[in-house]
């Protein structure tokens, strides 16, 4: 039987050419520890001098009760059809002035969106540009969070190929719960303020919730 595995690879780099590839995702075989069967392995927890480029993911080991460093972080797969997973990322730009994040576009079909944040002022969305740049001459080391929204929506079959079902009704809410639009199908140009919204889609009387970004 096929096992559910979703991953989002991305590269952290600086403008001097230093780079590291990191991978986050979910897998039904994953645990809350380092899973060597999924390609995870622990790297030394001691960062190099601040003049060196460095980027790792931090995984909290629930058995050893400590943070461990790795380049790949797969989390257990929840039962919900839509869910968010937050990954922790630590990086330092070394002798460069920028931290550059690159990812493939489009994102995997099972991923609604991904946002990189420092939980203060930084908010970078993994969008169709495939790249985002962080530049702050006063900060050399960054403690970041990558929030990834996943979905496992209803699937139909067309010509033997799995297809996402088409919703028969859609509602959009602000994050504080205010209904701001509803109808059978989202128009191509929707007059809403840019930002993040909660979308409810109805598939044959079953409602599915997801996050939706208005550019």
Residues 173-210: tens digit of each pLDDT? 998 888 999 988 777 778 888 888 888 888 766 777 77
Same domain, 52 and 68: yes
Q: What is the pLDDT of residues 16-46, one digit of tens each?
A: 999 999 999 999 999 989 999 999 999 988 7
pLDDT tier for residue 153 given thresholds of 50, 70 and 90: low
Same domain, 15 and 39: yes
Q: How far apart are the first and last CA of the chain?
A: 39
Structure tokens at 214: 């208005």
Model pLDDT, residue 209? 78
Find all residues with CB under 8 Å of 202, minimum gap 6, and list them: 167, 168, 169, 170, 208
Q: Which range marks the domain in which residue 99 is found?
A: 5-151
Model pLDDT, residue 204? 65
Residue 51 three-state SS: coil
Model pLDDT, residue 156? 40
* Tally of structural domains, the chain: 2
pLDDT tier for residue 155 given thresholds of 50, 70 and 90: very low
Same domain, 104 and 120: yes
Which residues does residue 9 pair with via DSSP β-bridges, in sequence order? 23
Of 80 and 83, the structure prediction assigns the larger pLDDT to 83
Same domain, 50 and 104: yes
Task: Return the minimum-mean-pLDDT range out of 24-33, 36-45, 93-102, 162-171.
Answer: 162-171
Q: For the stretch 55-70, what's the b/e string if a residue is b when 16 or more beta carbons lie within 10 angstroms of its beta carbon?
A: bbbebeeeeeeeebbb
- Residue 13, pLDDT > 90, answer yes
Q: Return the half-sphere exposure (C-beta side, CA atoms, 13 A cut-off) of residue 47.
A: 20
What percentage of the chain has pLDDT greater than the value 70? 89
Q: Identify the domain boundary among 151, 179, 195.
A: 151
0.75 cut: is pTM over it? no
Contact 170, 109 (CB under 8 A): no
Same domain, 201 and 99: no
Same domain, 30 and 115: yes
Contact 72, 57 (CB under 8 A): yes
The alpha carbon of 51 is separated from its chain's Cα centroid by a whole number of angstroms, namely 28
Which residues does residue 135 pair with via DSSP β-bridges, in sequence order? 98
Q: How far is CA 155 from CA 107, 166, 181, 204, in A?
A: 18, 9, 25, 12
Q: State mean pLDDT over 105-112.
A: 89
Q: Identify the domain boundary among 151, 168, 198.
A: 151
Residue 215 three-state SS: coil
Same domain, 15 and 96: yes
Query: How does the average pLDDT of the chain come out, rounded?
Result: 85
Same domain, 73 and 173: no
Q: Identify the domain boundary among 135, 151, 167.
A: 151
CA dihedral 166, 169, 170, 176 (to 10 degrees): -140
Structure tokens at 67: 């943070």
Model pLDDT, residue 166? 60
Q: What is the pLDDT of residues 109-120, one digit of tens each?
A: 889 889 998 867
């Amino acid at each position: 039987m096929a096992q559910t595995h979703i991953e989002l690879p991305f590269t952290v780099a600086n403008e001097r050419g230093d780079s590291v590839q990191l991978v986050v995702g979910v897998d039904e075989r994953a645990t809350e520890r380092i899973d060597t069967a999924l390609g995870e392995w622990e790297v030394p927890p001691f960062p190099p001098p601040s003049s060196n480029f460095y980027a790792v993911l931090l995984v909290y080991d629930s058995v050893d009760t400590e943070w461990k460093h790795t380049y790949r972080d797969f989390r257990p797969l929840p039962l919900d059809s839509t869910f968010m997973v937050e990954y922790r990322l630590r990086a330092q730009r070394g002798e460069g002035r920028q931290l550059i994040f690159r990812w493939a576009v489009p994102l995997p079909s099972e991923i609604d969106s991904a946002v990189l944040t420092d939980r203060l002022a930084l908010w970078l969305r993994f969008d169709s540009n495939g790249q985002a740049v962080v530049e702050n001459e006063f900060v050399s080391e960054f403690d970041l969070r990558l929030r990834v929204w996943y979905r496992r929506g209803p699937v139909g079959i067309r010509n033997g190929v799995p297809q996402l079902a088409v919703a028969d009704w859609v509602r959009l809410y602000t994050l504080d719960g205010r209904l701001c639009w509803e109808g059978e199908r989202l128009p191509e140009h929707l007059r809403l303020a840019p930002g993040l919204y909660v979308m409810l889609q109805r598939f044959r009387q079953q409602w599915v919730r997801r996050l939706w970004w208005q550019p």
